[in-house]
Structure 1
Amino acid sequence: MKSNLQIQKYSSHYIIDSNASVLPHIYNSETSLVCYCQPASWALSRAAQSFVTRHPDDRFTYQGEISPKLIQQLSSKFTPSPHGNLILGHIELMLEMFNTLLQPEEIGLRVIACQHAHSPAFHENRMIARMTSSLGGSGEQWIERQDARYFPLQKNQTTAQIKPPQAHTINSLCDGDIAIYKGTSWLEHEHNALISASPTFNDKDAKLCVYIDFIS
């Protein structure tokens, strides 16, 4: 599935390119998201679908440093599955990119086997920075802030909920894309965090969703 947004170089807020050198542009003060467009191979996509079908609702979670021990845990989980080495290679690439880009002391990693949307409502992301990629089908959805519409604040609410956006304003990452985006805790970005939702699903979809959060 192709993204609804055409690949463009160096837009003012959302930077999408087919070259991995786009990722450091997340440090631009006005940038909310950067995406390295690299479509997953047929074999990688099918490997993810096969894993999810065999292990529905499986979830790998980790908090700590990026280390050989983490890679060993991931290897033990994915390599027994058919062509699971391809999944492992993709996650290792994400970890290497994240480590090079942000040099974290500690990360949070989630690898979720999904057959339905796990966070379907559009929302502001309340963290520092997150890298994401989906395998087996289209990925994370997101909208530009200018397209966000809000429900009126209710009693005791401090943050307005976002209304379901109009279909033509929704962008989605492609199968295999690697994106990184800012949350409200990124310095001086509390009012410009990315607004996103989990990938969409139909009755036959099986996707592996990977999230890496910067913790410290």
Structure 2
Amino acid sequence: MSLSCSLSTCVDGDAPTASCESQPSVHWAQGIDASILPRIFEQGTTIAVMQRALSPSLERSIQAQCDTERRWSFQWLGVPDAAMKRELRRSMPAPEQACPLVDDVVLLTQAMAMLFDTDTLGIRLRLLDSAMCPRFHCDKLPVRLVTSYRGPGSEWLPESAVNRAGLGAPSPDKPETLRQAHAIQRLGTGDLALLKGDGWSGNEGRGLVHRSPAQQAGETRLLLTIDPS
């Protein structure tokens, strides 16, 4: 079943630790089918994760784009159309091996456009050699899709592990945001995650707290983010 087709049906997903019945405050949804992603529309859900394994052809395409000294990036704001696909391919350092990766990005943008009923998306694909946002924070926008094609996935916190008084710019009088270091969750490489932010109507002050993962010296990370507008 294709990603875009399966988004029309919602199913229950498995939580990282315990069932929703035993933990009524659980605010995540997780599963191996794309139909888990629409659970982000549930009032109490602030992260929906589709776990997936990347195909060998996609992994080869990703590797080709990461075997470069150039820290390249692609940005697009608008309709995910044929022009976007051409520009995406043109931006890659190994365009002759780009098709599987380009096709996956296009599939995800089309699925996001359908899921959020919008023609306009903000798309960024970046090859990184350091953490962009190493501090725990929550986004002010309504929702964002994130996936790491290569390298470690984003880290996020269950609400029980968060002290929201510690969010924002650091200062000497602020407490630590992280209450329980053992509670940190990490997305797997290839996983698709919808992160609900403070800008989602009715979710003010409850945006998912997350951060960029630490990267080892010489390690690169290929990160895709998609923001519906």
TM-score range for the pair, normalised by the shorter chain length: 0.7 to 0.9
> 1:1-150 residue pairs with structure 2 within 5 A?
5=16, 12-78=26-92, 80-81=94-95, 83-150=97-164
Q: Does 1:185 align with 2:199?
A: yes
Aligned residue type for 2:118: P
CA contact (8 A) 2:147 2:223 kept: yes
Deviation at 1:56, TM superposition (A): 3.5
Moved more, 37-46 or 171-180: 37-46
Tell me by how many angstroms 1:68 deviates.
Answer: 1.8
Letter of the 1:174 partner, please give it: G
Unaligned stretches of 5+ residues in structure 1: none
Segments of 4+ moved more than 6 angstroms: 7-11
Structure 1 residues 198 and 134, CA gap change in structure 2 (3 angstroms) = same
Deviations 1:146-176 (A, max 9, x none): 211356699xx9xx78635643111111111
More deviation in 194-203 or 6-15? 6-15
Listed one character per residue, the Cα deviations across residues 100-129 of structure 1 (whole Å, up to 9, x for unaligned) are 210223221111101211111110111011
User: Can you list the C-alpha shifts for 1:16-75, whole angstroms capped at 9, x where unaligned?
Assistant: 100111111111111101011102235533532442331532121111122221122112
Higher RCO (C-alpha 8 Å, min separation 6)? 1
Q: Sort the Cα spacing of 1:40 and 1:165 in 2 relative to 1 into closer, same or farther, 3 A.
A: farther
Offset, 1:190:
0.9
Contact 2:136 / 2:209 at 8 angstroms: preserved in 1?
yes
| Larger CA deviation: 95-104 vs 165-174 | 165-174
Identify if the C-alpha distance between structure 1 residues 37 and 167 changes in structure 2 by more than 3 Å, giving closer, same or farther: same
Shift of residue 188, structure 1, vs aligned partner: 0.4
The number of aligned residues is 209
Q: Distance in 1 between matches of 2:151 and 2:82?
A: 29
Q: Structure 1 vs Structure 2: percent identity of aligned residues?
A: 22
The alpha-carbon distance between structure 1 residues 80 and 9, as it changes in their structure 2 partners (threshold 3 A), is farther
User: Greater CA deviation, 124-133 or 143-152?
Assistant: 143-152
| Distance in 1 (alpha carbons) for counterparts of 2:175 and 2:139 | 12
| Cα deviation digits, residues 167-211 of structure 1 (max 9, x gap) | 311111111111112111110001211111113311242221000
Instruction: Please name the residue that 2:11 is paired with.
Output: none
Task: State the shift of 1:8 in Å.
Answer: 7.0
Aligned-residue CA RMSD (Å): 3.0
Q: CA deviation at 1:137?
A: 2.3
- SS at structure 2 position matched to 1:208: strand
